[in-house]
Chains A and B, each alone.
Chain A
Amino acid sequence: MLLSNLEVLPEQTIVRHLGLVQGSSVRSKHVGRDLGAMFKNLVGGELKGYTELLQDSREEATERLIAQASSLGADAVLNVRYSTSSIASGAAEIFVYGTAVTLAPR
């Protein structure tokens, strides 16, 4: 599955638009990480635990996007966008969406 946030492809044309596909994932971190983050908030700097958490979450959301796209029989998902929102204290939602298309060589 080709994922891209462009709208054009080299040497290929879009045959059919299959509509919007999406994937999302809501995650929160465990208490230990939260405590570590509270300490980090004193001295500043990167919260590595959170970076990894969101990265994992994003990968999972992307996998769901790919699953949905392949169930539609898509070759690629174009114009992919990410969006993050903090829906409750300590939990973040990662949302990925894009347009599923089928391709043919030009």
Chain B
Amino acid sequence: MYQIYLFVALLVVGYGFGQLAERRHLKSLIEREKVANALPAIASRFPATDRAYDQQLVSGSVVIASDYFKTFVSGLINLFGGRVTPFESLIDRARREALLRMKADAQRRGAGYVFNVKYETSRIGAGRVPAMEVLAYGTALVPGTAGRDLPGEAVHASADADAAVPVSG
């Protein structure tokens, strides 16, 4: 009987704190993404090479853990198969966080663009404890010599709408 109480208590604690943390995190992600959109992150491997800029490797990473409730529900879903939505939202948050940290790293170096952005996801943690690490990395293009431009037009022409935001700084 005692074990059932403990299990229910853990589920409630996991659900309560987990949902609270998720809601808070999503809110802060949306706020920070609005700002970070000024610095386009592009998956293309080939920036224009006719202008001067410095290249620097930038990265951002986050290790995120599932809560007790998510772990339990995903175990249930595993029985029947189908979309494991609790983990979908978890990994989505981790990716967005990692990208934001990468952009923060790029901004510190005064970059105008981040090219060839790659994500890496790996499961870490011991045994049954689900924790994921997401790493986002790419090459920051930092304007080199004063008066020279970044490969602006070339980028805008080929990149999607996200990159069409004017670059500040």
Contacts and interface: CB of A to CB of B under 8 A. Distances in A.
Given A6-B46, A42-B14, 11 more contacts: A5-B116, A6-B115, A34-B126, A43-B17, A46-B65, A50-B125, A51-B133, A54-B61, A82-B120, A82-B137, A92-B133
A41 B66 CA distance: 6
Interface of A: 2-11, 34, 37-38, 40-48, 50-51, 54-55, 58, 80-86, 89-90, 92
B83 interface: no
A2 B64 CA distance: 31
Contacts of A45: 17, 21, 25, 64-65, 67
Interface of B: 10, 13-14, 17-18, 21-22, 25, 45-53, 55-57, 59, 61-68, 70-71, 90, 97, 115-116, 118, 120, 122-127, 129-131, 133, 135, 137-139, 144
B131 A10 contact: no
A41 B13 CA distance: 11
B68 A92 contact: no
Contacts of A2: 55
Contacts of A6: 45-47, 55, 115-116, 139
Most buried by A among B18, B55, B135: B55
